Chain A
Amino acid sequence: MAETLGKNTVAQVKLTVKDFQSDQDVRWCPGCGDYSILAQVQRVMPEFKHKKEDYVMVSGIGCSSRFPYYLDTFGIHGIHGRATAIASGVKMAKPDLQVWVATGDGDGLSIGGNHMIHMLRRNVNVKVLLFNNEIYGLTKGQYSPTSILGQVTKSTPYGVIDNPFVPVSLALGAGATFVARTMDRDPKHLQAMVRRAEDHHGSAFMEIYQNCNVFNDGAFFTFTEKETRPDRVVYLEHGKPLVFGKEKEKGIRLNGFTPEAVSINDSKYSVNDLLVHDEKDSTLAFILSDMIHNPDLPRAMGVFLATERVVYEEEMQNQISRAKSKKGIGDLQKLLNGDETWIVQ
């Protein structure tokens, strides 16, 4: 915590991880991916440019939504699905605050799906950390809107028959200006994505693959574990070709609008034939997100899209400023009087 140092001036105290750890015991299951996400956020927050007291972490209901209790900032543990609606209110009412949302695949995409898409389309400057574990953890193991077809859960003993959401595609479709994907078991990348979200001016949507070791253990291991990750994950970097593989020997090229994995070590293709990532290109972002449907392609991680658009709460404030400069500051007595009064003696 920033303290006044001896003299009357408040020094620019460098904050540390400890400053963002609350005094509450963390109560997630041992081994839960949430621990890593909390740790990475706490590690990165001291670098953030705004004052600590200006951060508000809002959540809904679910395991991920306990997040605010463990972070020593202002926070609201909301009601199920409504984190983005509450956060929108916080940000609209006081745009100086830095508002983040911690939510999950159930909270943010099922019960709260409507609020999520509307916040993203409005481009309220709120940063969303969506913990995706493809399961309901807090209610002990029912399927979620990201659970995969056929998945056997407590509420689907014969397998899931709902087609799952692709969270990145949903966010892109809703008109989000920043969309990224990362994972709990890649701390460096997770930190980098949190920094990027912090720096983004507008709604930021970040899907985080998070392992629920109790109800859906290993759902993402093929992407997160060292042995398989190089072949199963391609990292997106703006202006760089999409290269992956243990020896960086593979890449993604576009065949028309269809991405395909190719070897760049043989004579047919070289790195020059590969798709070069462009964060400003929303069409490309959809193509990259859609790779999820082709099991032969690696999973894309990183920033899919980072564009700028009018920020909702700023435009809201602008309308007020314009009204004031045109009409003058409102006179309450005149408002009460209305257009026409008469006097009774």
Chain B
Amino acid sequence: MEKTVKNLEDVTIRFAGDSGDGMQLAGTQFTNTAAVFGNDLSTLPDYPAEIRAPAGTTYGVSGFQIHFGSTDILTPGDTCDVLVAMNPAALVTNLKMLHDGGTIIVNEDSFTEKNFKMAGIQSNPLENGSLSRYQVFRVSISKLASNALADMNLSTKVVDKTKNFFALGLMYWMYNRPLDQSIKFIQEKFGSKDPQIAEANLRVLKAGYNYGDTVEIFTTRYEVKPAKLPPGTYRNIMGNTATAIGLVAAAKKAGLQLFLGSYPITPASDILHELARLKEFDVKTFQAEDEIASICSAIGAAYTGSLGVTTTSGPGMALKTEALGFAIMLELPLVVIDVQRGGPSTGLPTKTEQGDLLQAVVGRNSEAPLCVLAASTPADCFEAAYEAARIAIKFMTPVICLTDGYVANGAEPWIVPNVDELPEIPVEFAKDPSTFKPYARDEQTLARPWALPGTPGLEHRIGGLEKEHITGNISYDPDNHDFMVKTRAAKIERIANDIPLQTIDGDSEGDLLIVGWGSTFGSIKAAVEAAREKGISVSHTHLRFLNPMPRNLGEILYKFKNILVPEINNGQLITLLRSKYLVPAVGFNVIRGLPLSSEDIEKRIESIVGGENG
């Protein structure tokens, strides 16, 4: 039959099902296809901490949201246009994400009494009128997948595992996408290992696509044209991957071996996985016995002239705290990646949060300053990790690079930089025994020399006890301690001379400035753009550097009547800003384990300045 084709600027699809239903895979596949097609996009994997919670339960539901479009896509979407629900639990837990009038595609076969009970609902939502605000498509996904494989003699379990590809195929049809990308993926992933599984997945993928084409219930296809992105060579990239290759790039540019000491922790482990594969880049990865050993091994490696790195998340950061102070005392370069997650304690391991800012900036015993910076989008993790390494080496200091569960697992298109155009990272090792003093300092950066074991005549000892200025010998002298505490702080402050001045999106003075940091970038920018469309004047500045802060930040802040600081924590950046700049900033704090809603930020903007300008 003839189908109409409608053009859309952007669409948000949410795939939801059991943890074992392959929703992350379906979502990632749709993402890669959209990226290669040329859409701009942003994704949000939203999965539970349980690996395989009992099938059919609400706490076992795993979701993947992708927002793609022909325009600049800034967030994974506050709400979705299409919800693909593989069972009743997925439907009831994700329905609140769907806006009124949105589309629901359900696997009708899973809507059984047993599954209603598992999902904790009394009656069939498909029958009881509760979905009247939405457009519901009931598709017999399990049966259709099974029919497509009828002659293959596969076990029920294997057949059941293919149904995510049916949903994917149907979405490809609906959004007019080619299947090539996923066909190639299936062949590469299963082809040689298990040709039967590959064949089954391919058949079901195509069955899903053809189903959309043939059945009469689907009358409309949608087209989302490629985005007008700046020219360049693009790839799709996830945050943790960007972090990993940013570290490799920095090590290569610096001519250093990359040493990663790490301990598995969600959501940071993927950085360890990525780097463990890259042995041909002289990357050494060490899965230590615990968080403490992971950072201590990285410090040991840094002492020998490697780029020492440790990766973790909040609770792991807490365990690394003492060793961080040690690295500050040793004044060795060290990069710490903290992929923040919901806390405190074990908290929400798979959800996002910006709760570790104060821990990173001030969370150590005594006076222990170090450099803290943050990544604002998945692709930005590359530059953030690279910059962390550059500063660590130049200033001989630990640097904490904050990302979070959202940017780490989210994905977006990225203009791949040309290796030759990456900033240089010069490295100098001490060589001359006649002039070598372990704690003599560079005049400009206040960095001490990096003196490697194995260098004749440079034998010296470093340690956690207070150092005498210049010689590095143990010193308990009161004046020396006062001097060293202040010198260590001054060294970190001097990093401000080495980083770009803060820029501002919008007018440089006015009624309202929004100050953000890290992963809230997209939500804030989307909110600001929406407010401007309504004629509201609002400016936005987003901090990469949290310690030290850019030299001109104060001047920027003082030119606005109101300062709004949205954060996924209970007010941490705002605490730093108020204390450092004495500004009457107000917070916007929503700590739900999810990215901030740009709609909510926009409402907040309107509540502050809407009355005057709107």
The chain A residues found within 8 Å of chain B, CB to CB, are: 1-2, 22, 24, 51-56, 58-59, 61, 68-69, 72-79, 82, 85-94, 96-97, 114-115, 118, 316, 319-320, 322-324, 326-330, 332-333, 335-345
Contacts and interface: CB of A to CB of B under 8 A. Distances in A.
A327 B280 CA distance: 7
Nearest to B307: A93
B230 A344 contact: yes
Contacts of A91: 300
Given A332-B248, A344-B230, A74 B301 contact: no
Given A74-B460, A338-B237, A340-B235, A53 B304 contact: no
Interface of B: 32, 35-36, 38, 229-237, 241, 245, 248-249, 252, 257, 259, 261, 278-284, 286, 288-290, 292-293, 296-301, 303-306, 308, 322-323, 326, 330, 416-419, 453-465, 473-474
A340 B234 CA distance: 8
Contacts of B460: 74-75
A115 B293 contact: yes
Contacts, number: 207
A79 B330 CA distance: 11
Nearest to B290: A114
Contact of A335 (B245, B308, B457, B459): B245
Contacts of B36: 340, 342
Contact of B288 (A85, A329, A338): A85
A89 B286 contact: yes
A22 B231 CA distance: 61
6 contacts: A24-B474, A82-B323, A86-B296, A88-B293, A89-B301, A341-B234
A105 B297 CA distance: 21
Contacts of A340: 32, 36, 235-236
Contacts of B323: 79, 82
A329 B322 CA distance: 37
Contacts of A82: 292-293, 296, 323
B181 to A, nearest CB: 8
A342 B461 contact: no
Given A53-B455, A341-B233, 18 more contacts: A22-B461, A24-B473, A51-B456, A59-B463, A61-B464, A76-B461, A76-B463, A77-B461, A85-B293, A85-B296, A89-B299, A89-B308, A90-B453, A92-B301, A93-B257, A335-B248, A336-B416, A344-B229
Nearest to A327: B280
B464 A89 contact: no
A86 B459 contact: no
A318 to B, nearest CB: 10
CB-CB nearest 3 A-B residue pairs: A89-B300, A77-B463, A89-B297
B464 A114 contact: no
A195 B159 CA distance: 65
B245 A78 contact: no
A337 B418 CA distance: 9
A53 B453 contact: yes
Contacts of A343: 231-234
A337 B292 CA distance: 34
A337 B235 contact: yes
Contacts of B298: 89
Contacts of A330: 248, 278, 280-282
Contacts of B454: 53-54, 74, 94, 96-97
B261 to A, nearest CB: 6
Contact of B462 (A2, A61, A76, A85): A76
Contacts of A319: 279
Contacts of A96: 454
A342 B38 contact: yes
Nearest to A338: B235
Contacts of B32: 340
B38 A85 contact: no
A86 B302 CA distance: 10
B231 A344 contact: yes
Contacts of B234: 341-344
B278 A94 contact: no
B61 to A, nearest CB: 30
A56 B453 CA distance: 7
A336 B301 contact: no
Contacts of A74: 453-454, 458-461
B453 A92 contact: no
A280 B195 CA distance: 50
B271 to A, nearest CB: 14
B478 to A, nearest CB: 19
Nearest to A22: B461
Identify the interface centre among B234, B252, B303: most chain A CB within 10 Å of its CB: B303
